[in-house]
Structure 1
Amino acid sequence: MSWVTIWSHAHRGFLSYGKTSGEIQLRFRPLTKARHIRLVFANEYGCAPLTISDVSFSSGNQKVELSSFYVQPGEIYSTEELMVEAENEIWQINFFAEQAVSGYGFTDSDFCGHPEKKGTINFCPGLLAIEADITAGNCILALGDSLTEGGAWTAPLQQRLRDEDWYLVNQGINGAQLLKNSSDRVTQDPREFFYGYAALTRLKNCLKSHRSVKVVILSMGINDLVFSSSTFANLQRGVEAIFTECDAHGIRLFVSTLTPFTGYPDVTPSKEATRLKINQWIQQRFGEQALDFAAPVSKNGVLKKEMDSGDHLHFNAIGGRAIVELINIESLKGG
């Protein structure tokens, strides 16, 4: 048996939206048949200790309460081992957080119903991941932006993989960029990085906090093109840096092509030309480990009408399912 990360959600800095203090209650659909799990907490963007108290985990008729603890800036804290009482029972996680400055929105495809929150809670702080004690389980890290965070392709792919003890975790952040730390304001304060760290920093942090990662799927670069006018050479170097980090850890990297964005504000013919050039390079450079996300959602260089969420950049659930259909699961698993 070994510990495997079976769920996680990317954190972001949200200081400008108010520090978070209060009680959180999260309800999850059962994620695994394993009977032993641990909760993983992080303080990825903070500069002061994060206080977590009144922690409990419930499944079926069983409830386990945990002692309070602090999470230092940059620290990863794993709880003691928790017993999952029965299969097919909703998991409920409760805790109280004080003065948190990073976390994520209360939306996730694995949440069951609407999370309950009391106090000055605008974002879910602290809880980063759930890991389980599984025989021969594996984690796949989906490192991306809003097209990943939204779950259009990650959610259906998760469902295909979990029955085989492969757990794809969604590490998407809307607005995130491959090449630089990003925010909705000019700042160098990590607590204000509303769109997260640059991809390489995020990857390094994930490899410290996630267990049994065997594969990384990189799906980033669109925001760099749209909002920062990044060059082909810069994007190329950014992807190569991710490859080097994965290779150093014995992790296989899959890289997606960039899906169409013509029609979205500030998109120019020059940016579209760079998108096409980087896509061609990705396919040549990574071969069978290139995932051509653009192919099933594109028609004449734009998103297909039936797959366009309305802004000409974000594909919808139909597009996400079409993307998943093209992914060779056995190749992803290394078969």
Structure 2
Amino acid sequence: MINRRRAAAALAALGLLATTLVGAAGPASGGLPPRWVGTWGTALTAPSLANTGSSLNGFTDQSIRQLVRVSLGGQKVRLRFTNAYGTQPLTIGHATVGLPAAPGSPTLQPGSLREVTFNGSASTVVYKGAEVLSDPVDLPVAASQDLAVTLYLPTATGATSWHWTARQTSYVYAGDRAGDVDGSGQTAAYNHFYYLAGIEVLTPTGLGTVVVLGDSISDGSGSTLGANTRWPDYLASRITGTWPALADPGVLNLSLAGNQVTRDGSTLNSPALGDSALARLDDDVFSQPGVRTVIVELGINDVHLSGYPADRIIAGLRQLAIQAKDRGLRVVVATLGPFEGYSSWTADKEAVRQAVNAWLRGDNEFDGLLDFDQVLRDPAAPSKVLPAYDSGDHIHPNDTGAQALAAAVPLWLL
């Protein structure tokens, strides 16, 4: 439950903030000085040993066109690429960004394609374990705008840095197709992101970012492929549709399907599940541009995949909150949703889930609570997902369920 007095105070403070900002802005600028704010991001991991075709073997003399949807609009964009999990330097021979002609289309709107440069050069080398940030690109984008980012990789990349459950199609071509508006002729299409770690916008209105640190519930498992119907997508649309004009935060979804609070995916022989959330804090949360708030939606995989006891999961969640607050961030946590009917469910695991949720609903180190369990559960069978929200596997919400989760987030908490 949300304390109404706290809500009213927060809304009043937000109104005062907006008034103060407007009053402080100069008449020539009409607002705050522009600043770089994160508008899209994804968590990348080591390649999967089972995915030799693209993630492990990588690419040679090929282009990848990746479609993403930004949360916050801005005057210019810049792109962040990573070789965090590569085994050798990564050469980007040519990169572009443009606007898709239609949602999900690899063909671009005429006149929208822009060249991406790095320190003025059309190519760059991203060294092993490193990142590179592009030069600013003069491409105005609107809130909830789709972008197409194309990379040409001229030499063998070796092992990639990737996101294995993108819920978005990336298109692969032979040779350098970064400069092509026409997106036909692809040689492969994958439900993965490669190398692209983040997008920033230059904006006079964005006051920071909200990072979602989650698992498959937030990563979009169960949502419609290519439709941008993960609950953080719906949250981003709510924010830009209702937030005061001088306080729009970007929403960065740094979630990983299968991710756990206290266990690395590599210990399950599945590095694509990512390092534990505790190990991801520095790279996936604290390093994000303008991060102000973290939403933690984690713990169910510690229960159903690893069978860990409640005290271990609670200790891990406490550490997430303590470390984030030590960095000056607001930390909001979600309860663990129901999963009876899923293949790994047992009565003992249900008891652990209930114990973790009881702690989350009580006094703890978090600044706010999102009771996703209450949103998703069937009132007639509280250990099960409401049928109207069930994607069919009895643990992941469908698009309707994801929309309900986003609607349950009080914007003042952010």
Deviation string 1:47-66 (CA, Å, 9 cap, x unpaired) is 32222221122354452242
Match of 1:294 in 2: 373
Show CA shifts across 1:196-219 (max 9, x none): 110012221124541000011111
2:86 match:
46
Instruction: Please state which structure has a larger fraction of its residues in strand.
Output: 1
Return the offset for 1:76: 2.4
Letter in structure 2 aligned against 1:24? I
1:309 aligns with 2:385: no
Give, in angstroms, the shift of residue 125 of structure 1. 1.7
Alpha-carbon spacing, 1:148–1:141, altered in 2? closer, same or farther (3 Å): same
The answer to whether the aligner puts 1:14 opposite 2:47 as a matched pair is yes
Q: Tell me which of 231, 246, 250 is aligned to 1:167.
A: 250
**Partner SS, residue 305 of structure 2:** helix
Cα 1:30–1:268 change in 2 (3 A) is closer
Contact 1:61 1:85 in 2 (8 A): no
Structure 1 counterpart of 2:35, one-letter code: S
| 1:63 matched to 2:97 | no
CA deviation after TM superposition for structure 1 residue 2, in Å: 2.0
Question: RMSD over aligned Cα, in angstroms?
Answer: 2.4
Deviation string 1:84-121 (CA, Å, 9 cap, x unpaired) is 1575986332112322422124745xx6xx53212587
How far residue 310 of structure 1 moved from its aligned partner, in angstroms, is 1.4
Confirm whether residue 261 of structure 1 aligns to residue 339 of structure 2: yes
How far the C-alpha of 1:318 sits from its partner, in A, is 1.6
Alignment of 1:178-193 (within 5 A): 178-183=261-266, 185-186=268-269, 193=271
Render the CA deviation track for 1:10-38: whole Å, top value 9, x for unaligned: 11222421222131113445654311211
Which one of the candidate residues 245, 257, 260 is aligned to 1:177? Answer: 260
The two structures have a TM-score, normalised by structure 2, of: 0.72
Aligned to 2:196: 127
Is residue 40–residue 198 contact of structure 2 (8 Å, CA) maintained in 1? yes
Q: Tell me, yes or no, if structure 1 residue 144 matches structure 2 residue 214.
A: yes
Q: Is this contact kept in 1: 2:165–2:257, CA < 8 A? A: no
Percent identity among equivalent residues? 25
Give 3-state SS (helix, strand or coil) of 1:266's partner: coil
Aligned to 2:133: 78
Letter in 2 for 1:12: T
Contact kept? 1:6, 1:132, Cα under 8 Å: yes
Gaps of 5+ in 2: 1-33, 100-110, 175-187, 221-228
| Number of residue pairs aligned between Structure 1 and Structure 2 | 323
Query: AA paired with 1:125?
Result: Y
Q: Partner of 1:102 in structure 2?
A: 161
Where does 1:218-233 land on structure 2 (aligned, <5 Å)?
218-233=296-311
Q: Is the 8 A contact 1:62 1:85 kept in 2?
A: no
Instruction: Name the SS for the 1:20 alignment partner.
Output: coil
Q: Find the aligned partners of 1:236 and 1:106 in 2 and give their Cα distance.
A: 27
SS at match of 2:37: strand
Q: Is the 8 A contact 1:52 1:126 kept in 2?
A: no
TM-score, structure 1 normalization: 0.88
User: Aligned letter for 1:38?
Assistant: R
Alignment-derived partner of residue 107 in structure 2: none
Instruction: Please give the alpha-carbon distance, in whole angstroms, between the structure 1 residues aligned to 2:323 and 2:268.
Output: 29
Corresponding position of 1:93: 149
Match of 2:77 in 1: 37
Change (3 A) 1:199 1:95: same
